[in-house]
Amino acid sequence: MIQGLITEGNHKTEKDLNKGAGGSDVFLWFLKGSTEYDVPIVELAVSTNAAEDAKMAQPQWERSTCDLNRRAEGRWIYLWMKERQTYVCDIQATNNPSSDASLFRQGYTRIDEDTNREAGGSDVFIWYRQSTDEKKAIRDLQVSTDQASERSYGNQNYEQVRINLNEATKGTPVYLWYKKTDCSQKPIKLLTVILNMDAVSAYRRADINVIEKNLNTNNDGMKEFVCYG
């Protein structure tokens, strides 16, 4: 991950946001990108509880999934970035860092939460790309946790994100599926992963879709849910 960031011209801020707190080392990185998918950030904010987190989930705001207080045993703190209106237009996943540089180069953003966290499997991350063109937007997102649901989504012409989000664990294979062609659905503007169970109901009250299929199905990892809106 770090080498991929450096290779593609990202810049690391030198202050550890968890310094002295006993948690993980947390640093911010930024990029002055030039692809059509690199949308300028115009404002920053933070949320410090589930209610604030859900309230911030609104058009033009993007959530960084990394808890800025990770392993420090304090509040869950998340960074939010305001941009021009964008739409999620592509989704991928990775189970090793070898393709990080290529995805950064193509304008992808990594959701910085391992879907196998504490499950003992591969490090698996979801990536997405944004566009200001609503016609390119993904309009529906689903998660399969068994072969029956895989067949069902395939028969409905959903596109599968090929990486198993439960890779190398004893759990059931878990896959993301998305569709761009269903015009009855609103375009997806926000995509994130949440671990804080208190945030599930708060997100629903804010009219954000929560796919209540635990990404760590049948293993001892953290409970994780995909949210979109």
- The alpha carbon torsion through 131, 136, 141, 146 (nearest 10 deg) reads -110
Distance between CA 193 and CA 109 in Å, rounded? 13
What per-residue confidence (pLDDT) applies to 167? Answer: 94
The reported pLDDT for the residue numbered 162 is 95
What confidence score (pLDDT) does residue 33 get? 84
pLDDT attached to residue 73:
85
For the chain, residues with pLDDT lower than 50 are none
pLDDT at position 120: 86
With residues binned 3-state (H G I as helix, E B as strand, rest as coil), the percentages for the chain, rounded to 5, are: 20, 25, 55
Tell me the pTM.
0.87
- 201-215: pLDDT as tens digits: 899 888 999 998 989
Distance, CA of 145 to CA of 218 (rounded, Å): 10
DSSP per-residue letters across 128-187? EEEES-GGG---EEEEE-SHHHHHHHHHTTPEE--S-TTTTSSSPP-EEEEES--TTSPP
